[in-house]
A and B are shown apart, each in its own frame.
Chain A
Amino acid sequence: MEVWEKVFVKDAEFMESTHGKVGCVICHGGDSQEEDKELSHVGLVIDPSEGNCNTCHKDIAETHDFSLHATLSGFESALEARGGDVSEGSPLATAMENHCQECHTSCGQCHVSRPDEVEGGLVSGHKFRETPSTQYNCVACHGSRIGAEYLGENEGIPADVHWTQGMMLCTECHSQELHGSGEEAESRYQNSNAARCEDCHQDVWTNTEGNPQHEQHLSDLSCQVCHSVAYKNCYGCHVSVDLEGLPCRTSEASVMQFEIGYNPLRSSERPYEYVVLRHVPTCSGTCDYYGESLFPNFNAVSTWKYATPHNIQLHTPQNESCDACHGNIELFLTEEDIRDEEREANKDIIIKELPETVGK
């Protein structure tokens, strides 16, 4: 977007809306009577967000305070779990400030403009969209893995059936979840409002008649084990600051893989023994620019994570028959798939023994 376009209130109807009638300065500050551009923008608040929104949307704002979009606590807890010191003034705190904070999402960056991460800009004039745009908001940040999978942008991999058959937007599954649950969470899988397949597909659980695969595996396999296909895995991310003082990062080329492993988040809500796992970009040297050995307990956390790839298909290579999966080493995360330096970190989720073939 051009610079002017980002701040162009093109929809005159906005001025007649509830938010439009409030006037600009109540949320954005500045001086609405000053004609000089520089003077009128003194004290300008570009992204007003929570402090203003909670005047009317108190319940949502209070819940959102705990959401991962607001707290980014997933980053901090992951660093701490690896023995990292994230206390104020520490090298990792600086790294987080430089590289993690850009993922913070304000109210406006979902409901009014594009996120800062993609350099902002009003989405529909200044219209407040109750439902964020899949294209301009959700995928703007969650694009390289989830967005590409869902929309079928990975070569040779079909788009998600919910997109090809239903043109379903992100918010049709992910609704209240995006404002959190009102409780502290360190991962999206701890969010009690998280989308679940059974929210729509209850019949799969209540009626398995005529479907021996569901009858056999509903409780021990996550849905994605049978219904997703190869997805993107990232490796070797290194963060630093460039010669101009700007935060930057490098990573290895991503790899399309499909790997079934043991469930690292096994719980009553997610009781499956087997799930699909995705490799996260993190490595032991990710933050080496900021200091040596900043993750003294790197192996405490796996680098292959519980995953829910967004490329769901009814028919997949592994669900063609029992033995398309049973005994098929290509589908399972084994020691040979793990880099030497990461074997200890992933020892609990590597498949030691493949499910035996059944001759069907």
Chain B
Amino acid sequence: MKKLVMALAVILVLLALAAVGCTNKGLVGPSPEAEQGVVSTCVTCHTDKDILREVASTEVTAKSEATTGEG
């Protein structure tokens, strides 16, 4: 009887593993915020062009003006 219970337990564990798979679902599934219905401030701002225009910093160019000719 004990062996039968053990065997059933092993089979159940294997079935569970097969269902979940060995993927990185935890990493590639919906974000925790999305699952909890929490609004991400990243999305709020980066999908609103008016907000972005308002808060955008002046870009500091890192290119030298002394460069001439083709690269």
* Interface residue ranges, A against B (CB under 8 Å): 2-5, 7-10, 12, 15, 18, 21-26, 28, 30-35, 37, 40, 55-56, 119, 126, 144-145, 232, 234, 237, 240, 242-244, 246-254
Beyond A3-B57, A4-B53, A12-B47, is A55–B28 a contact (Cβ under 8 Å)?
yes
* Interface residue ranges, B against A (CB under 8 Å): 24, 27-34, 38, 40-43, 45-47, 49, 52-53, 55-59, 61-71
Is the pair A55, B71 in contact by a Cβ cutoff of 8 Å?
A: no
Is the pair A33, B38 in contact by a Cβ cutoff of 8 Å?
A: yes
Is the pair B27, A26 in contact by a Cβ cutoff of 8 Å?
A: yes
B35 to chain A, nearest CB (A): 9
Beyond A2-B56, A32-B41, is A25–B31 a contact (Cβ under 8 Å)?
yes
A49 to chain B, nearest CB (A): 16
Beyond A23-B30, A33-B33, A237-B69, is A9–B64 a contact (Cβ under 8 Å)?
no
Q: Which of B30, B32, B34, B68 contacts A250 (CB 8 A)?
A: B68
Is the pair B41, A55 in contact by a Cβ cutoff of 8 Å?
A: no
Q: Which of B33, B34, B41, B62 contacts A35 (CB 8 A)?
A: B41
Beyond A21-B34, A23-B31, A32-B33, is A3–B58 a contact (Cβ under 8 Å)?
yes
Beyond A30-B42, A40-B42, is A7–B52 a contact (Cβ under 8 Å)?
yes
Query: Could you write out 23 A-B pairs with CB less than 8 Å apart?
Result: A4-B53, A4-B56, A5-B49, A7-B46, A9-B43, A9-B47, A21-B29, A21-B31, A21-B34, A23-B34, A24-B31, A24-B43, A25-B31, A26-B27, A26-B31, A33-B41, A34-B41, A126-B46, A144-B70, A242-B65, A246-B64, A249-B71, A251-B69
For the complex, give the distance between the alpha carbons of A78 and B22 in Å.
44
For the A-B complex, the count of residue pairs with Cβ-Cβ distances under 8 Å equals 119
B58 to chain A, nearest CB (A): 7
Residues of B within 8 A of A232 (CB): 70
Beyond A33-B33, A56-B24, is A23–B71 a contact (Cβ under 8 Å)?
no
Residues of B within 8 A of A144 (CB): 70-71
Is the pair B28, A251 in contact by a Cβ cutoff of 8 Å?
A: no
Is the pair B67, A23 in contact by a Cβ cutoff of 8 Å?
A: no
Is the pair A253, B49 in contact by a Cβ cutoff of 8 Å?
A: no
Is the pair A249, B56 in contact by a Cβ cutoff of 8 Å?
A: no
| Nearest neighbor of B70 in chain A, beta-carbon distance | A144
Q: Which of A4, A23, A40, A56 contacts B32 (CB 8 A)?
A: A23
Is the pair A22, B31 in contact by a Cβ cutoff of 8 Å?
A: yes
Q: Which of B33, B45, B58, B64 contacts A248 (CB 8 A)?
A: B64
The 6 closest A-B pairs by CB, nearest first: A23-B31, A251-B69, A248-B64, A246-B64, A4-B52, A24-B42
Residues of B within 8 A of A7 (CB): 46, 52
Is the pair A250, B64 in contact by a Cβ cutoff of 8 Å?
A: no
Residues of A within 8 A of B61 (CB): 119
